[in-house]
Amino acid sequence: MEVSFIGSGNLAWHLATALDNTEYPVREVYSRHAGNAGALVGRLYDARIQSTLDFANSSSRIFIVAVPDDVLPEIVQEIELPSNAILVHTSGSRPLSILESAGARHIGVFYPLQTFSKKIKVDFTEIPVFVESDDSETERSLTTMAKAVSRKVFRISSEERRALHVAAVFASNFTNHMLTISKTILSGRNLEYEFLKPLITETINKSLSIGPEAAQTGPARRGDLEILDSHMEFLKEDEELSEIYRVISQHIVDHYDA
């Protein structure tokens, strides 16, 4: 079953390659940035750049829209598809229903739960893939495609997927931003971020091993107000960081006092 991609960003970079090595060859890649589409096509066996959103004469059956959430509604409005096409999006936060305006007979969601960067290789077989559709035939097709690239495939509703995406933002995006703040604090004192790496590794490993609640340590977990006040004093010149520290520390205190 042939596939076409709308989008050539980080997710498309990895998913298109993974599918192209199975019985789901990628035939077309559309991007508003032709150079990005060309770079992705260069990684595939027999794909070409699609210059418009008119796929009416495409030989593909599955069309995967892998674009930022804010662009998705516009793409859905403009795309033209063959009569029996399966149109899917890969968003964690957008509902299945957003695809209805495209007029496709078959719509679905194909959501790999992972953070992707073009320069970082991933093992797609270990990435959970969540599928959704409003009809059983499309759901079976997407499930079969998901199992071609991943060993972990699950059915999920739009509301469940939204909860999963919010949780993923806390677990990944917010965690990474906390590390960025840590690096900034150290840089301001000419200290190396490398010093934190063993701690970061152990923190993540312990959380995965015994669970995040059991793994929690630190002054807020202990209710050590003297240390908390000392840290707030250290951060007093930066009101934003001071407020972030206060809110998160208070949330930890409240959580374990409950």
For the stretch 147-193, pLDDT in tens is: 999 999 999 999 999 999 999 999 999 999 999 999 999 999 999 99
Instruction: Select the CATH number that applies to the domain covering 161-257 from these four: 1.10.1040.20, 3.30.1490.270, 3.40.50.720, 3.30.565.10.
Output: 1.10.1040.20
Distance CA 173, CA 242 (A): 20
Position 120 pLDDT exceeds 90:
yes
Q: Which two tokens stand for residue 136?
A: 């059983």
Residue 112: its H or E element: strand 106-112
Rg of the chain taking only CA atoms, in angstroms: 22
Provide the sign of the torsion angle of the four alpha carbons 156, 160, 166, 170, taken in this order.
negative
- Mean pLDDT calculated for residue range 71-76: 95
Q: Is residue 15 within 8 Å of residue 145, measured between CB atoms?
A: no
Mean pLDDT score, 30-52:
96
pLDDT at res. 258: 64
The number of angstroms, rounded, from the C-alpha of 3 to the middle of its chain's C-alpha atoms is: 21
Q: What is the pLDDT of residue 31?
A: 96
pLDDT for the residue 35: 95
Read off the pLDDT of each residue in 201-224 and give the average, rounded to a whole number.
Answer: 97
DSSP string, 176-234: HHHHHHHHHHHHTTT--GGGGHHHHHHHHHHHHHH-HHHH--SHHHHT-HHHHHHHHHH
How much is the mean pLDDT over the chain?
96
pLDDT (average), residues 95-116 = 96
Cα distance between residue 190 and residue 188, in whole Å: 6
Q: How far is it, in rounded angstroms, from Cα 106 to Cα 138?
A: 6
Chain-centroid distance of CA 79 in Å reads 23
The domain segmentation of the chain, as residue ranges, is 3-156, 161-257
In whole angstroms, what is the distance from residue 69 CA to residue 78 CA?
Answer: 15
Contact 58, 87 (CB under 8 A): no
- Write down the pTM of the prediction: 0.92
Q: Which fold has domain 3-156?
A: Rossmann fold (3.40.50)
Quote the longest CA-to-CA distance of the chain: 69
Please give the pLDDT value at position 181.
98
Binned at pLDDT 50, 70 and 90, residue 141 comes out as: very high
Enumerate the β-bridge partners of residue 65.
6, 89
In the chain, beta strands by DSSP E: 3-6, 26-30, 48-50, 62-65, 86-89, 106-112, 129-133, 153-155
How far is Cα 97 from Cα 7, in angstroms, rounded to an integer? 20
**Which pLDDT tens digit goes with each residue over 189-212?**
999 999 999 999 999 999 999 999
Across 17-32, average pLDDT: 97
Quick one: which of 145, 114, 109 has its CA closest to 127? 114
User: What is the spatial distance between Cα 224 and Cα 222, in angstroms, rounded to a whole number?
Assistant: 5
Distance of CA 213 to the CA centre of its chain: 24
Which tokens sit at 184?
A: 């900034």
Tokens representing residue 83 in the block: 């009569």
Question: Exposed/middle/buried for 26, CB within 10 Å: 0-12, 13-18, 19+?
Answer: buried
Whether residue 214 has pLDDT greater than 70: yes
In the chain, the percentage of residues whose pLDDT exceeds 90 is 99
